[in-house]
Structure 1
Amino acid sequence: MPKISSDKKLFFKLLGQELNEEELEELVFRFGIEAEEREEEPDILYFEIAANRPDLLCIENLVHALRVYQGLEKQRVYNFTPAKETIYVKAATQQIRPFVVGAILRDVTLTEDSFKSFLSFQDKIHQNYARKRTLVSIGTHDLDKIEGPFFYDAQPPQDIVFQALKQTESMNCIDLFSKLREDQYLKGYLKIIENSPVYPVIYDNKKRVCSLPPIINGEHSKMSAETKNILIEVTAIDEQRALHTLNCLISGFAIYNQKLNIEKVNIVYELSKKQVVTPVVDERILTTNIQYINKVLGIHITTQQACERLSIMGIKAVAKDESVLDCLVPFYRSDILQQCDIAEEIGIAYDYNKIEFRVPETATTGSEYRLNKLSDMVREEVALCGFVECLNFVLMSIDEQTKMLNRPNLQNYVSLNNSKTPQFQSVRSTLIPGILHTLQANSDSKLPIKLFEVSDVCVKGQKSEKDGFQKGEGQVGAHNQRNLVAIHSSSKKTELEILHGLLDQLMIKLRVKKTDYHLKQSNDPLFFHQLQAQIVYKDQTIGGLGVVHPEVLERFDWKYPVTLLEMNIQVILNDF
């Protein structure tokens, strides 16, 4: 989860109270986040924020939320004023980054600390909610240095000439990117647009470049702690994410305007003729009922009590009657989408530690799934016999489970339509190719090598309860089946008796009677002709063991003798 940091003195000053380490941890933990103090940085506090709360990625919003939670402060009321500026979106932007939204903060008063926090907030959103600028990128500008209306366009990189932030001269984007490839911070973002024939660019009425999203801003419109009027523009490949990002930003930094004024911006799209006024802050009302809340949380509160709990979470709610309440979701809370989200907010406000523990009112109690229990017992026993467990891909090529195993006529596998790569054409019907690949990948290891895997395979055919399936399972033409595979490889001899002994040991531990299983001569081309056998359980063949044929080993690039056992352990489930 993302982390933010703050100077300890500044945090407690904003919070309006001094807390010791234990009190702070208790407060923020009840609220749903975690605090951390590090010995090497005693004056810094770190907070781990849930990924669904990008609005809390700045100290200003975090402190405000904690103060509201404690009842020390009322929820902020923002004022939105009509748009005076316009951003015109050119048709060419559809080729690369088609959406832009904006807002203006006027008459703000920043300090060095708040300015740093403003920049840090942008960076945290870029790294987390914006997925390292691939989905969304933010540009902030000193509005007094530029002049509207503004234009959002996409142009060839050689045609975009400007002085970028921290650069000493103007240059086109090709030369700029050559310089930025040496920048440890920005070079990772160049790949987002560098292969595009056009780059997105925002410029003002005098053709002065404000920003090159999602890479860098222009030097001309650079902000500082003395900036009084701020233009915020957010470009994106997803309009809703852009709007949510903008709402998060303005919720935190409108406080530096005494009246909490936020000026809207007109967005006009040239191609579709669509006009949007941003930020979009229409009231969003979510209706829920108290019966659902009480059932989900396991508590008993009235609608009025629920409204009081929601108020300390910054959500205004009104009880329509004894069972229904309307919740007014703040414009910056994009994480609240449905009733369960309201229930979560009430749970935090109620304090999860105060919810009484009780056994659910069900007819039965839960227990471990029998097949998994059997699998774990098999894993433990095989591991105690000196084998090392491995896990392999569920998908493989068709050749890997047919021709490479000397089984060219095998047809019981499930193939994929339109597989992306030849490597993953089918679902495995056997665990053997995977464990042979693992063996080859460990060619540098000391011999002997003993490996095993207990996993599902998928085979065609209907299955019934006698095969270890519950009623109704395996009726779709294919089914999963829990298999065990084990291999032993030594430089000296085949040592088939090791796997034979492993089989007998398993059957003893699973309490299978000696009369219920036996070995029978087989003719599987995977193995040497007379060094192999079928495993028969209650007159049903459930697997085989033998010495792997050298032709198979050659295809898997292995030069030492290998003995192998594979069996279906699911059929034993009925007697387990």
Structure 2
Amino acid sequence: MMNISNHMFPIIKDSPVYPVIYDSNNVVLSLPPIINGEHSKITMNTTNIFIECTATDIHRATIVLDTMVCMFSEYCSTPFTIDPVQVTQFDGSKQIYPLLKYRNEKISMKYIENNLGIGIDMNNINRILKRMYLESSQIDDNNEIDVCIPPVRQDILHPCDILEDIGIGYGYNRMQLSLPDSFTIGQQFLLNKITDQLRNEIARCGFTEIFTFSLCSRDDIADRMRDKDSLTKAVKISNPKTLDFQVARTSLLPGILKTIASNKNMPLPLKLFEISDVVVKDDNYDVRARNERYLSAIYYHKNSGFEIIHGLLDRIMQVLEIPMKTNESTNTTVGYYYYLRAKNDPRFLNNRCAEVLINEQIIGIIGVVHPEVVGNFELAMPCSALELSIQNIY
């Protein structure tokens, strides 16, 4: 008697070989991840359990295996005892499973007090953490706590997760409500305010706003855009579900070009824009990446329409009250100004591309999209594009 899991079949459908598990008597126990046999099912009289974990990602498989082993080991005749298994990997290497790795994370008293707003000594914190199945100890006299994270707490990824456990263990209902020492008036975040104002203004210029996915494929930002260097700047997804979501976008242009490709039957010209965040690497942040607000616009028609995109740039700068530097004799020592400087970029035609600068700082690019890029996105007509970093404008 077999239970067939049809939703798991695609995992091995195209594999030249299938996994199978036999016992010492050569009886089939399981065909992971598809079926389990009647011979190997657990009953009330089962005394010995062999835990097998199958997955397409080794990291997640070890997490599941460690968690299952710890849960079952509580009910062993000798609690918390297991028999490890040596697994031979596909490359011939051997590994003992389960791993059951412990790791340590540090958290400071100042971090706890500033974020929870409670006055509590270290002994009480250690007691609270023990209630949350976390062993901890003080690190010398540094007012830091060393927390030992067991394999059953794979949900703890950052000190803020330990902070949450302390808050739960202490009791949120015990925390005293208090008014701030000074009263302030809330206002809209400046970047969001400028974003909303630009959306309205660009829409008045006849452009249609779109929203595209924050994740894209490696080909979208590299091969299709003729920009191989972009992959070195991109934040990669360690375990992408599909080929369309492999990296975080470093530019809005691929998403807009894909949108045009999906709407080629719409009346021309297509004038599209998007104001959203891209992700850039930054070692100054604990996650080594940060968001940056970009503005991109494209004009797609029988002619390139570079003058229309250029006019949009001038209108954006006009509403932001940033004057254009007209010639080299202009006094540029006072105030804000912008100008264009010739630039060769693989995404754009040579001699049809320029950098946008504000006070000698590069904030974007404008130009006629290279015909090869247009063809890579299965488009048949020329287009011009503009991309600006709004955060570098003000």
Check whether TM > 0.5.
yes
Aligned residue in 2 for 1:235: 52
Kindly indicate whether residue 115 of structure 2 is the aligned counterpart of residue 305 of structure 1.
Answer: no
Q: State the distance in 1 between where 2:371 and 2:205 align.
A: 26
Structure 2: which 5+ residue stretches go unaligned?
237-243, 285-290, 327-336
Q: Secondary structure at the match of 2:318?
A: helix
Residue 487 of structure 1 and its aligned partner are, at CA, apart by 3.1
Residue 217 of structure 1 and its aligned partner are, at CA, apart by 3.1
**1:389/1:453 contact within 8 Å kept:** yes
**2:225/2:373 contact within 8 Å kept:** no
Q: Secondary structure at the match of 2:124?
A: helix
Q: CA RMSD in A?
A: 6.3
Residue 305 of structure 1 and its aligned partner are, at CA, apart by 3.4
Distance 1:501 1:350, change over 3 A: same
| Amino acid aligned to 1:451 | L
**2:301/2:383 contact within 8 Å kept:** no
Aligned residue in 2 for 1:382: 202
Q: Which has the higher helix share?
A: 1
Residue 310 of structure 1 and its aligned partner are, at CA, apart by 4.2
**2:30/2:37 contact within 8 Å kept:** yes
Structure with greater contact order relative to length (CA < 8 Å, sep ≥ 6): 1
Aligned residue in 1 for 2:39: 220
Aligned residue in 1 for 2:299: 488
**Greater CA deviation, 386-395 or 281-290?**
281-290
Q: Which of 70, 89, 104 is the equivalent residue of 1:247? A: 70
Residue 443 of structure 1 and its aligned partner are, at CA, apart by 0.4
Distance 1:290 1:445, change over 3 A: same
Residue 211 of structure 1 and its aligned partner are, at CA, apart by 3.7
Aligned residue in 2 for 1:564: 384
Q: Secondary structure at the match of 2:49?
A: strand
| Amino acid aligned to 1:511 | E
Q: Which of 254, 259, 281 is the equivalent residue of 1:438? A: 259
Alignment of 1:55-454 (within 5 A): 166-167=1-2, 183=4, 185-186=5-6, 188-189=8-9, 191-192=11-12, 195=15, 197=17, 199-204=19-24, 206-224=25-43, 227-236=44-53, 240-241=62-63, 242-251=65-74, 254=75, 262=79, 264-267=81-84, 269=86, 293-307=112-126, 309-310=128-129, 312-313=131-132, 332-335=152-155, 341-355=161-175, 377-390=197-210, 391=212, 396-397=221-222, 400-401=225-226, 414=229, 435-454=256-275
**1:287/1:324 contact within 8 Å kept:** yes
Q: Secondary structure at the match of 1:301?
A: coil
Distance 1:380 1:356, change over 3 A: farther
Q: Secondary structure at the match of 1:564?
A: strand
Aligned residue in 1 for 2:241: none
Distance 1:321 1:443, change over 3 A: closer
Distance 1:454 1:248, change over 3 A: same
Distance 1:309 1:524, change over 3 A: closer
Structure 1: which 5+ residue stretches go unaligned?
1-165, 168-179, 403-412, 459-471, 473-479
Q: Which of 293, 296, 315 is the equivalent residue of 1:505? A: 315
Q: Secondary structure at the match of 1:386?
A: coil
Q: State the distance in 2 between where 1:572 and 1:320 align.
A: 42
Distance 1:486 1:210, change over 3 A: closer
Q: State the distance in 2 between where 1:331 and 1:520 align.
A: 56
**1:488/1:563 contact within 8 Å kept:** yes
| Amino acid aligned to 2:42 | M
**1:401/1:428 contact within 8 Å kept:** no
Structure (1 or 2) with the larger CA radius of gyration: 1
Residue 449 of structure 1 and its aligned partner are, at CA, apart by 2.0
Q: State the distance in 1 between where 2:292 and 2:134 align.
A: 50
Q: State the distance in 1 between where 2:250 and 2:99 align.
A: 53
Aligned residue in 2 for 1:90: none
Deviations 1:393-436 (A, max 9, x none): 5854467449xxxxxxxxxx83658x99xx9xxx9998767644
Residue 247 of structure 1 and its aligned partner are, at CA, apart by 0.9
Residue 452 of structure 1 and its aligned partner are, at CA, apart by 2.0
Distance 1:367 1:233, change over 3 A: farther
**1:483/1:566 contact within 8 Å kept:** no
Q: State the distance in 2 between where 1:553 and 1:533 align.
A: 18
Normalising by structure 2, we get a TM-score of 0.55
Q: State the distance in 1 between where 2:358 and 2:129 align.
A: 62
Distance 1:439 1:343, change over 3 A: closer
**2:62/2:99 contact within 8 Å kept:** no
Q: State the distance in 2 between where 1:270 and 1:515 align.
A: 68
Distance 1:429 1:232, change over 3 A: closer
Q: State the distance in 1 between where 2:383 and 2:67 align.
A: 59
The count of residues paired between Structure 1 and Structure 2 equals 340
Q: State the distance in 2 between where 1:275 and 1:497 align.
A: 63
Q: Secondary structure at the match of 1:502?
A: helix
Q: Secondary structure at the match of 2:39?
A: coil
Q: Secondary structure at the match of 2:118?
A: coil
**2:294/2:387 contact within 8 Å kept:** yes
Q: State the distance in 2 between where 1:535 and 1:281 align.
A: 54
